[in-house]
Amino acid sequence: MRDIQSETDHRNLEIQKVGVKGLRYPVVVQDRENGSQHTVAEIQMSVHLPHSFRGTHMSRFLEVLNRHRGNIASGNLNEILGEMRSRLDAEVAHLELEFPYFIEKQAPVSGAKGLQEYLCRFEGSLGEIEADSDFVLVVRVPVTTLCPCSKEISSHGAHNQRGIVSLSVRYDGFVWIEDLVDVAEKSASCALYPLLKRKDEKYVTEYAYNNPRFVEDVVRECALHLEAMEGVYWYRVEAENYESIHNHNAYALIEKDTNGRS
């Protein structure tokens, strides 16, 4: 049977990423409290395609994924990426997984327990040289922020809102998702909780009021914590507030390589 994908292409244009996306697949993530957590990720798999190749073999991505069924985790991404490179005869392979991660949280006063969801992402690349290999962990953390300016000028309260803090890190060794969640929550005006009784609601309202933060404050506080975190050598911090008195959002970003690595 004629293999059209393997035919030579004469347009002399390489493709940086070609593959499959929108896959939903079960994965296992390391959990600081319970050892591991099973969740479902949306996956994108791709490879670099040289200018001389007309197409890639899409079915091989699924074959690699199915071979690692039940064993797709952060600890073996390089193994999967290596197999992708080999099976697809590629110089560079890319694998992205986005998944919900759940942490049990206790309300601050009543101790009522519930599961809080955090959207996380693994972004991995593996090439023949170090410059083409990379891994980034991304964690998006919902928080509460209260405006310092509003508190200063208002005699009755201050406006506050939910926001999202997105932490992206490159690191040596290992970083827990929970550690990044902790960084974001303690850098905001207050953490969010899945279940609050009335005495908890009083506590978090007053806590946020006594801890006002601009988005600028949030990203700076996160940055200081990340610079002190062992193993982290690059980070990007983004904070976005869903403003309660404006029809637009407030946004800030800090990105830094802490020791000159690229």
My answer on whether 84 and 121 are in the same domain is yes
Out of 132, 158, 173, a domain closes at: 132
Cα(97)–Cα(228) distance, integer angstroms:
27
Same domain, residue pair 172 and 121: no
User: Where in the sequence is the domain holding 69, given as residue range(s)?
Assistant: 11-132
What are the pLDDT digits (tens) for 78-128?
A: 999 999 999 998 999 999 999 999 999 999 999 999 999 999 999 999 998
Which of 68, 97, 132 is the C-terminal boundary of a domain?
A: 132
What pLDDT, on a 0 to 100 scale, did the predictor assign at position 160?
Answer: 92
pLDDT band at 70 (very low <50, low <70, confident <90, very high): confident
Nearest to 167 by CA among 142, 132, 197, 148: 142
Tokens at 176, concatenated: 């827990």
User: For the residues 136-161, what does the mean pLDDT come to?
Assistant: 94
Cβ-in-10-Å burial (0-12, 13-18, 19+) of 38 comes to exposed
In the chain, how many domains are there? Answer: 2
Percent of all residues in the chain with a pLDDT value above 90, rounded to a whole number:
78
Three-state helix/strand/coil letters over the chain: CCCHHHCECCCCCCEEEEEEEEEEEEEEEEECCCEEEEEEEEEEEEEEECCCECCCCHHHHHHHHHHCCCCCCHHHHHHHHHHHHHHCCCCEEEEEEEEEEEEEEECCCCCCEEEEEEEEEEEEEEECCHHHCEEEEEEEEEEEEECHHHHHHCCCCCCEEEEEEEEEEEECCCCCHHHHHHHHHHHCCEECCCCCCHHHHHHHHHHHHCCCCCHHHHHHHHHHHHHCCCCEEEEEEEEEECCCCCCCCEEEEEEEECCCCC
Same domain, 128 and 176: no
Same-domain check for residues 25 and 117: yes
Q: Is residue 3 part of a domain?
A: no
Q: Do residue 119 and residue 204 come from a single domain?
A: no
Whether 128 and 192 share a structural domain: no
* Mean pLDDT of the residues in the chain: 91
Question: What's the burial of 213, exposed, middle or buried (CB within 10 Å: 0-12/13-18/19+)?
Answer: buried
Amino acid identity, position 81 = L
100 within domain boundaries = yes
- pLDDT confidence bin for 5, thresholds 50/70/90: low
Final residue belonging to a domain, choices 132, 163, 193: 132
State residue 79 phi and psi, 5-degree precision. -65, -45
Q: Do 38 and 148 fall within a single domain?
A: no
Indicate if the pLDDT at residue 51 is higher than 80. no
Residue 1 in domain: no
31 C-beta neighbours (distance < 10 Å), count = 17
Would you say 89 and 48 are in contact if contact means Cβ atoms under 8 Å apart? no
Let me know if residue 6 belongs to a domain: no
pTM of the entire structure? 0.91
